[in-house]
Amino acid sequence: MASFPKYLMTAGAATAVDVALVQICLQLLSLHPSIALACAMCVGAAGGMSVNFFLSRRFVFASDGRRPHQQFLTFFAVSLSTAMLRLAIAYGLVSLLSLALFAPLLILPVSLPAERLAHLGAVGIVTIYSFLAHRHFSFAGGFRSRLLTRTTMVS
């Protein structure tokens, strides 16, 4: 049985990779803020996803009997949905943080402060979804197995 605390530890390592890559990319792309967040989050998600898969497979989730590349394909699909959800939330948070109420953020000594904070907020918000999706799909036999189980239960 997968435990959420173990997942938080392994996902924490993956998140550290993700956040570091995003922050570096935002620094490099600060001249183009409209595309910087999306590009940076894609790079960060790819790095974090790789770390998360290997650590989750090794330390958190029990084997479902599939080969690593089969599990990785399911993991990739779930991670892609997670990344898309994070992007949507991040852009929503950027819009929220651009309100006059949050104008003091502009005095922070970093480029793109709203984008940086939005990324961190989105990562936190999506963590529970990520755990549940990986638990019920990535390391539970994949999408086909889950669909067959549901179909059998209905019949």
Per-residue pLDDT of 68-110, as tens digits, reads 888 889 999 999 999 999 999 999 999 998 889 988 887 888 8
- What local confidence, expressed as pLDDT, does residue 115 receive? 86
Number of domains in the chain: 1
Range of the domain at 114: 4-154
pTM of the model: 0.76
**What number of other Cβ atoms are within 10 A of residue 42's Cβ?**
15
- What local confidence, expressed as pLDDT, does residue 31 receive? 64
Residues of the chain falling short of pLDDT 50: none
